[in-house]
């Protein structure tokens, strides 16, 4: 029952917010997904807070410290390191999205590597990761409601919105490239319900602590990091390298003998995500060195060519 209430609140907040925001505006996919690119610094700051500090930050982190002791303090380290990394990377992502008219991560990878198929694969992987992330939000919201009914508003709708955009932009448009804006908007709205229903279904089928669910999220989402970081700092990275690294990382996470062997390398002995990330990165670099890089125009999406100095004018 409590999960049903969480589902109603999450979907209700999404629908209500969408209706209120759409009044008086021409609604298309860009407007629906990224607010027509009109988010200012203040709004973007609040959105980042909603993305970063989830119900896990309120409940799961304290639970981890209470149950496991000092290892639970890793939460503080991850937030600080993520913020420091984001200070350098986030503006470059924003610039790439603005200059190339991108909306989702799938759009970026498809353009950066000149490979729509890679955008499709990484979009599907991202949707799977977002389903786990939504599960964290719903589990935490259910716990809050169980303690104090109606005492919180979950940021799950941010995650659901991202999953919906990935499906519409990078899956549906690949299958139906001729679809107009009206059809894409309909698919986006249906995807909201589908993503939320799937997340609730996963939550109901398997009950775990917030700490364990969040570790699974970290393990999964981190497999997208090498592709993003390498695409922003290394011109030589290729689509084949990214895909090979992703497959290697997934094998490390889902094949039990490999996962157990990697987990044994970590001091805590329980988390395979970090060594899997190292394997992923090494494979991506090795395969990229052995394959042809993308075109110069594709590379410029993530690594813009610096403006040449005007020698004729002495600059």
Domain boundaries, the chain: 2-303
Give the mean pLDDT of 180-207.
Answer: 67
Q: What is the largest CA-CA distance in the chain?
A: 74
Residue-wise pLDDT for 262-284, tens only, equals 877 776 555 778 889 999 999 99
According to DSSP H, which parts of the chain are helical?
2-22, 29-34, 41-52, 55, 61-68, 74-100, 105-112, 116-147, 156-167, 173-175, 181-205, 210-221, 225-233, 239-254, 256-263, 273-290, 296-302
Per-residue confidence (pLDDT) for residue 293, from 0 to 100: 93
Spatial distance between the Cα atoms of 107 and 173, rounded to a whole number of angstroms: 11
pTM: 0.75
Query: Do the beta carbons of residue 107 and residue 169 sit within 8 Å?
Result: yes
Retrieve residue 159's tokens. 């995650």
Per-residue confidence (pLDDT) for residue 314, from 0 to 100: 44
Per-residue confidence (pLDDT) for residue 247, from 0 to 100: 96
199-213, 255-269, 290-304 — most confident range: 290-304
Give 172's pLDDT tier (boundaries 50, 70, 90).
Answer: confident
Q: Return mean pLDDT, the chain.
A: 76
Per-residue confidence (pLDDT) for residue 315, from 0 to 100: 44
Retrieve residue 165's tokens. 């955009």
Retrieve residue 226's tokens. 């090498």
Residue-wise pLDDT for 218-257, tens only, equals 788 889 999 999 999 999 999 999 999 999 999 999 898 8
- Looking at the chain, the whole-number percentage of residues with pLDDT higher than 90 is 24
Give 311's pLDDT tier (boundaries 50, 70, 90).
Answer: very low
Residue 123: name the closest of 106, 102, 111, 104 by CA.
106
Residue 289 has pLDDT above 90, yes or no: yes
Query: Do the beta carbons of residue 155 and residue 50 sit within 8 Å?
Result: yes
Query: Do the beta carbons of residue 210 and residue 55 sit within 8 Å?
Result: yes
Phi, psi dihedral angles at 197 (to 5 degrees): -65, -40
Give the mean pLDDT of 129-157.
Answer: 61
Per-residue confidence (pLDDT) for residue 103, from 0 to 100: 87
Residue 192 has pLDDT above 50, yes or no: yes
Higher pLDDT residue, 259 or 313? 259
Higher pLDDT residue, 128 or 66? 128
| Among the ranges given (41-45, 120-124, 225-229, 239-243), the one the predictor scored with the smallest mean pLDDT | 41-45
Cα(first)–Cα(last) distance of the chain, in Å?
69
């Amino acid at each position: 029952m409590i999960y049903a209430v969480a589902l109603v609140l999450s979907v209700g907040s999404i629908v209500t917010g969408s209706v209120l925001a759409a009044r008086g505006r021409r609604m298309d996919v860009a407007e629906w997904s990224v607010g027509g690119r009109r988010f200012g610094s203040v709004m973007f700051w609040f959105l980042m807070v909603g993305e970063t500090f989830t119900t896990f930050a309120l409940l799961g982190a304290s639970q981890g410290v209470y149950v496991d002791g000092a290892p639970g303090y890793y939460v503080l380290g991850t937030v600080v390191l993520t913020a420091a990394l984001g200070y350098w990377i986030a503006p470059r992502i924003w610039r790439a999205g603005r200059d190339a008219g991108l909306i989702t991560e799938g759009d970026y990878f498809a353009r950066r590597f000149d490979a729509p198929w890679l955008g499709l694969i990484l979009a599907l992987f991202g949707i799977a990761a977002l389903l786990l992330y939504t599960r964290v939000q719903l589990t935490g919201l259910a716990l809050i409601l169980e303690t104090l009914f109606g005492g919180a508003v979950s940021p799950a709708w941010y995650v659901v919105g991202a999953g919906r955009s990935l499906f519409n932009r990078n899956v549906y448009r690949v299958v139906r490239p001729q679809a107009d804006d009206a059809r894409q908007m309909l698919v986006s709205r249906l995807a909201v319900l589908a993503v939320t229903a799937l997340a609730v279904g996963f939550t109901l089928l398997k009950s775990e602590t917030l700490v364990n669910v969040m570790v699974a999220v970290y393990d999964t989402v981190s497999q997208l990091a090498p592709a993003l970081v390498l695409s922003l700092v290394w011109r030589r990275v290729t689509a084949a390298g990214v895909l090979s690294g992703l497959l290697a990382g997934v094998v490390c996470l889902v094949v039990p003998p490999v996962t157990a062997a990697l987990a044994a390398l970590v001091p805590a002995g329980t988390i395979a995500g970090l060594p899997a990330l190292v394997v992923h990165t090494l494979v991506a670099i090795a395969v990229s060195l052995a394959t042809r890089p993308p075109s110069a125009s594709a590379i410029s999406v993530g690594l813009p060519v610096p403006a040449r100095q005007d020698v004729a004018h002495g600059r």
